[in-house]
A and B are shown apart, each in its own frame.
Chain A
């Protein structure tokens, strides 16, 4: 389809393990965002990529979190040494101008 896709849709991991979450944005969209959503909470901004500019990493909660965007398209969010408080739905969005188009999210559960 033409929308934003994310994989996996669900991920269960053990505390201390590393995880990688993938986002395929809409083709041609120059901006890509990662958010996370915990139960009962709104969306928490994590990181923002815009073209070839340096990413805005101001929302990353700790140095265990990192993200990259290869070739201006696909992005990977990596969480190292996962903790139980990392459990949440991780949402990716892409945009061209104002509207952000969201993927369905990856539900991460850390046991």
Chain B
């Protein structure tokens, strides 16, 4: 059973276009993380959001955590070929405030940006 559903599964766009990736669940999470993974490597953390309604911006990337803490989105403005990779959302359900504990991962969105 997949707790987090990501969409779309694949996304192929031209350089300069904007895109949004969605991560949805019927469950509430204490935090939501987005990772990016390149072939042959482990995922690398992009951002952690912990408050419902929270919006974080990292250069051209904007992350949002839903008010009910059940969903999140990643928006990329003016995509570049270097943005190509597998984007994974992951939810944590540990409310103890210390180590996050296990993460529930979505299946990922494979993004390809063509020059």
Size range of the interface on B? 20 to 34
Size range of the interface on A? 20 to 34
Smallest CB separation, A49 vs chain B (Å): 11
In the complex the two chains form, is B43's CB within 8 Å of A102's CB?
A: yes
Complex Cα distance, B93 from A45, in Å, reads: 13
CB contact between A59 and one of B31, B45, B102, B106 (< 8 Å): that residue: B102
Given A33-B102, A42-B108, A48-B102: A98 in contact with B48 (beta carbons within 8 A): yes
Complex Cα distance, B6 from A97, in Å, reads: 25
Smallest CB separation, B88 vs chain A (Å): 6
Smallest CB separation, B41 vs chain A (Å): 5
A105 to chain B: which residues have CB within 8 Å? 40-42
CB contact between A42 and one of B2, B41, B45 (< 8 Å): that residue: B2
Complex Cα distance, B33 from A24, in Å, reads: 23
B31, B98, B102 interface centre (most CB from chain A within 10 Å): B102
* Residues of A participating in the B interface, judged by any CB pair closer than 8 Å: 4, 30-31, 33, 35, 40-45, 48, 50, 56, 58-59, 91, 93, 95-105
* Residues of B participating in the A interface, judged by any CB pair closer than 8 Å: 2, 4, 6, 31, 33, 40-45, 48, 88, 90, 92, 98-108
Provide a sorted-by-A list of 10 A–B residue pairs whose CB atoms are within 8 angstroms: A31-B100, A40-B107, A42-B6, A43-B105, A44-B105, A45-B103, A95-B100, A98-B92, A100-B100, A104-B40
